[in-house]
Amino acid sequence: MTFADMTFERWRALDLAAARRFADGAAARVGGRMLAVETVEHLGGPFHRARIERQGQEFALIPGGRVRLGFDPDAWRPTPAQEADYAESLDEGFGSGPDLRAHLAEELSPVRTVELATVLMAVRDEAAPELPDYMPAALAARGLRMPGADEWEHACGAGAGSLFRWGDECPLGEPSYGDGGIRHEPNAFGLRIAYDSYAAELSDDRGSVHGGDGGAAVCGGYGDLLGWLPLATAHRNPGMAEFAYGPDGEHAWDCFTVRPVLTLP
């Protein structure tokens, strides 16, 4: 099977031996080496995580194909605690809708189906190497590129469709930043992603920032749930993106990160 033929659904159907063979071939194609292929529970069945090392950097295999992205608030049922927390945020003057579902409809990307290539994506984000106009060239010099916004969202959610990559709830009362907690567990692909609301990952979409908002919601006192929401898989943070690429962004550029992608030739 070629790299172009490997889709998310086909990857889910592979047995462990076949997954290892494919990952080993991908590693060889990019001049790297396969570190491990392990099996975890995801979407009600076994799911393989493949890690590949290249030039001292660790990547995860992200199978693509035709995938569903976005979030449908109308099909989601918030818990009483989530509704109560959002109501408190509204009382304090925060929130962008009369209820939580309306707020999510404005803040999260809509449900859609897209076609994505199978790629290798860095397990950890890294400091953005250059200011916006020069960053693609800086990555290209290493044989890498920025992720697309849809690629990032797929890599984060891994087909789950839930509000957060781990499910529809977050631990209200616990901080959305710092060390420890569910957000620091690897996702289904083995990525350390959407792990701290003070993070702000860039993609090639200048209208989006992913996996955090630089701490804006937390520092602004928006409320527990709204402080966690920047970690939601489909959150695009357009306000943070406007700041990142605006005249003031270069003065805080060191707070932005990027998760390099290695295209499979």
User: Using 50, 70 and 90 to split pLDDT, how confident is the model at 144?
Assistant: very high
**Any domain includes 141:** yes
**Any domain includes 57:** no
Domain count, the chain: 1
- Check whether 156 has a pLDDT greater than 90: yes
What does the pLDDT average to over 159-184? 96
**Any domain includes 231:** yes
**Any domain includes 6:** no
What does the pLDDT average to over 32-57? 97
**Any domain includes 202:** yes
**Any domain includes 13:** no
The pTM (predicted TM-score) of the whole model is: 0.96
pLDDT digits (tens, 9 = 90+) for 183-236: 999 999 999 999 999 999 999 999 999 999 999 999 999 999 999 999 999 999
**Any domain includes 167:** yes
> Are the beta carbons of 79 and 219 closer than 8 angstroms?
no
**Any domain includes 22:** no
Tell me the CA distances in angstroms from 246 to 131, 148, 235, 249, one per residue in order: 11, 20, 20, 5
pLDDT at 3: 81
Domain that holds residue 218: 67-113+125-260
Phi, psi of 49 (to 5 degrees): -110, 125
Edge to edge, the sheet with strand 45-54 lists: 33-42, 45-54, 57-62, 119-122, 261-263
86 secondary structure, DSSP code: H
213 secondary structure, DSSP code: -
Could you tell me what percent of the chain has a pLDDT over 90?
Answer: 89
DSSP 118-187: -EEEESS-EE--S-TTTHHHHHHTTT-BPPPHHHHHHHHHTT--SSBTTBS---TTS-SSSS-SGGGS--
- In the chain, % helix, strand, coil (3-state, to 5) comes to 35, 20, 45
